[in-house]
Amino acid sequence: MKQISLLGSTGSIGVNTLDVVARNSDRFEICGLSAGSNVEKFVEQVKQFKPKVASIFDCSKENIVRERLAGLDVELIFGEEGPVKVATWPDCDLVVSGMVGSAGLVPALSAISAGKNLALANKETLVVAGELVLKAAKDNNVVIIPIDSEHSAILQAMNGEKKEQIKKIILTASGGPFRTFTREQMEHVTIEQALNHPNWSMGDKITIDSATMMNKGLEYIEAKWLFGLDVEVDIIIHPQSIIHSMIEFVDTSIMAQLGIPDMRVPIAYALSYPDRLECELPSLDLAQLSRLDFEAPDYEKFPCLKLAIDALEAGQTLPTVLNAANEIAVQAFLDEIISFQEIPEIIRTTMDNHKSKPVTHLEDVLSADRWTREEARKLISVTP
C-alpha cells in the first residue's frame, strides 16, 4: 500500500488526486493532507480519507477546523509549518505537490531532503529554483515525476529511448480562450472571459496563466529543467488538447502521447509510475474527433510567453522574478485593479528593474521573491 501525502488538497489537482486514490483504495492510502483556506472541502476530505496528519494554512480557521474534526485520530497543524510537516511525514512514500505558486517550493524541497519521491504539479518549484531542486533530488536519490499533462506526455514518450537521439521536445498549448482574438479584442478582455478555458477545468490562477500563455512559458522552463537544459524545446498551439506533447528524434520521427483532456490520467500515471492504472474514463474517439489542428504561437499577442523564455535564457534570479511578478499581477487582475493587458507590462517592468544575481542557496530565491512582490505592488499602485 503506497502512502501518499497531498499538498494542495482542495485545489483542482488535489481533488483529482483524491478521486484517483478513492478509485484505487487497494493500492493507495492518504497519510497526509495540506490545504490553504477552504475549510468546508478540507474537513470533508479529512473525514473521508482519515489521514494521520492534516494542515490548513489559514490560522484563522483553527477553531472551526478543530471543532469539526473533534474525535478524529489526526494530528492537526496550522500555518506555514503545516505543508512541510505533511511533506516530511515519516510514513509517506510519495508526496504529491498540487500547491499553487512559489509557496510550493519550501515544502517540495523539504520532501526531497527527507528522501520522499515527488509527484510534481507545482511547476513554479522548478521555475524559481530548478538547479537547487534537481541537485537536492540527486543528492537524496529522489525521483521527481511530473504531473502536468505536457511533462507527463514527454516522460512517457521518452520511455526507453536514448536521450542523445532526441532532437527536440514539442510542448503543445491549447492557446487558451483568446487564441482567435484580435489584438483589439484583447484590449477589452473581462475576468469572466479569461476564466472560461475551452478545454480544462482548473483553479483561477492557472486559468488566467493559460489565458495569457504564461502557463506555457512556465512549462517551457519546467521542461528545460526536467529533461535537460541542452534539449531544444518548441511550443506549438494545438487547440483540441488531445496531443499533450511530443518528442522529435534525430531521424525526424515524432513520438506523441494522446489522450482525453482529463488531469486524472497524468495523476494516475504519476501515482503508479512506472506502472499504469486502469482508469474508469472514456476512451479517446479519434473518428469522432476527426481532426487535429496546429499553429505557431503569436509571441506579440501573448508577450508572457516570450518573457518566460527570456527569463530562462538570462537565468540567475530572473525566473524567480518572472514568477513572483506574474503571481502579483494575476491577482491584481482578478481583484479588478489592473486590466488583462497590463499583466505582461507589470511583469516586464519588474524584470527590467531587477538586478539579477546567481542562485546558490534557497535564500537567494526567497530574497528575490520578496523584492519582486514589493516592486510589483509598487508598480500596480501607480498604474493609471
Contacts of 379 (CB under 8 A, 6+ apart): 346, 349, 350
* Predicted pLDDT of residue 330: 97
Q: Quick one: cell of 368?
A: 528575490
Distance CA 176, CA 209 (A): 9
SS (H, E, C) the chain: CEEEEEECCCCHHHHHHHHHHHHCCCCEEEEEEEECCCHHHHHHHHHHHCCCEEEECCHHHHHHHHHHCCCCCCEEEECCHHHHHHHCCCCCCEEEECCCHHHHHHHHHHHHHCCCEEEECCCHHHHHHHHHHHHHHHHCCCCEEECCHHHHHHHHHHCCCCHHHEEEEEEEECCHHHCCCCHHHHCCCCHHHHCCCCCCCCCHHHHHHHHHCHHHHHHHHHHHHHHCCCCEEEEEECCCCCEEEEEEECCCCEEEEECCCCCHHHHHHHHHCCCCCCCCCCCCCHHHHCCCCCECCCCCCCHHHHHHHHHHHHCCCHHHHHHHHHHHHHHHHHCCCCCCCHHHHHHHHHHHHCCCCCCCCHHHHHHHHHHHHHHHHHHHHCCC
* Predicted pLDDT of residue 200: 67
Distance CA 13, CA 263 (A): 7
Before 239, cis peptide (omega within 30)? no
Q: Quick one: cell of 130?
A: 530548478
* Predicted pLDDT of residue 58: 92
Distance CA 361, CA 131 (A): 10
Distance CA 344, CA 98 (A): 25
Contact assessment for residue 115 and residue 143, using Cβ atoms and an 8 Å cutoff: no
Amino acid sitting at position 132: L
* Predicted pLDDT of residue 201: 67
Q: Quick one: cell of 160?
A: 526507453
* Predicted pLDDT of residue 186: 87
Q: Map out the domains of the chain as residue ranges.
A: 2-146
* Predicted pLDDT of residue 53: 98
* Predicted pLDDT of residue 384: 59
Dihedral sign from CA coordinates of 216, 217, 221, 222 = negative
Distance CA 80, CA 96 (A): 17
Which regions in the chain score pLDDT beneath 70?
A: 200-201, 383-384
Give the architecture (CATH level 2) of 2-146: 3-Layer(aba) Sandwich (3.40)
